[in-house]
Amino acid sequence: MSSRPPSEAVAAQWDERYGDQDRVWRAEPNEILVDLLRGTEAGTAVDLGAGEGRNSIWLAEHHWQVTAVDASKVGLAKVSRYADEAGLSVTTLVQDLWEFMEVSKINDRRFDLVVLAYLQVPEADRAELLAQAAGLVAPGGHLFVIAHHMDSLGISGPPEAARLFVESDLAAVPGLTRERLELWRGPSDQAVSGTDVFLWATRV
Ligand SMILES: C[S@@+](CC[C@H](N)C(=O)[O-])C[C@H]1O[C@@H](n2cnc3c(N)ncnc32)[C@H](O)[C@@H]1O
């Protein structure tokens, strides 16, 4: 059974965290994402749970037309500020990402790139999250998911095992071709190095 908290609770929790510190996450984009996109033509992208927008900002810098979705208005206000300071354009949307995916599906809205970086989703919701996110990928487009791996317990990422992932959590991507499903060791959303698991899948 899903243990998804209501979006108001998610928003309040993350607003408080983002309001307490200038930067909760490091400013650099995810290295694997940058690497995977080498040679890919820029198009439309959605960064689901964008936080302070480090991936959104990098994508916009590299000519992607980015929509950053997050429940936290405080996090997204930072995204807008960073984008303005850099003379970039990022569309920000304060919305529950489940609702965003549902509405996008109804409106047949698709993206050339869908990013899900370090969402701490309970195990019961992971298959559904992946299926919904896969549904947002346009023909020829890609889904990138990265999460803290169980091996990071006590080293980096959230301190509870229930919020850490294993490879099988990212194995099923309906409608997409799974190209890479691997462990990666390096700095994740914060500067501390740990083990992450990432998925790169394409709608061929
Ligand atoms: C660990 S942060 C990751 C931020 C960013 N992706 C990164 O890698 O720097 C998780 C983000 O997901 C957002 N989030 C979690 N659940 C959400 C939901 N149901 N709807 C929208 N945003 C959500 C939180 O507000 C938070 O900003």
Q: What is the pLDDT of residue 2?
A: 56
Q: What is the pTM of this model?
A: 0.96
The whole-angstrom distance between residue 74's C-alpha and the CA centroid of its chain comes to 17
pLDDT exceeds 80 at position 4: no
pLDDT exceeds 70 at position 26: yes
Instruction: Please work out whether the CB of residue 199 comes within 6 Å of at least one atom of ligand 1.
Output: no
Q: What is the pLDDT of residue 3?
A: 61
Of 169, 172, 129, 127, the closest CA to residue 150 belongs to: 169
Q: Which CATH class is domain 7-15+28-202?
A: alpha beta
Instruction: Please work out whether the CB of residue 14 comes within 6 Å of at least one atom of ligand 1.
Output: yes
Instruction: Please work out whether the CB of residue 70 comes within 6 Å of at least one atom of ligand 1.
Output: yes
Closest Cα to atom 26, ligand 1: which residue? 51
pLDDT exceeds 90 at position 104: yes
pLDDT exceeds 90 at position 31: yes
pLDDT digits (tens, 9 = 90+) for 138-194: 999 999 999 999 999 988 888 899 999 999 999 999 999 999 999 999 877 777 788
Q: What is the pLDDT of residue 156?
A: 83
pLDDT exceeds 60 at position 1: no
What mean pLDDT, rounded, does the chain reach? 94
**CB-CB contact of 124 with 2 (8 Å):** yes
Instruction: Please work out whether the CB of residue 125 comes within 6 Å of at least one atom of ligand 1.
Output: no
Closest Cα to atom 12, ligand 1: which residue? 49
pLDDT exceeds 90 at position 87: yes
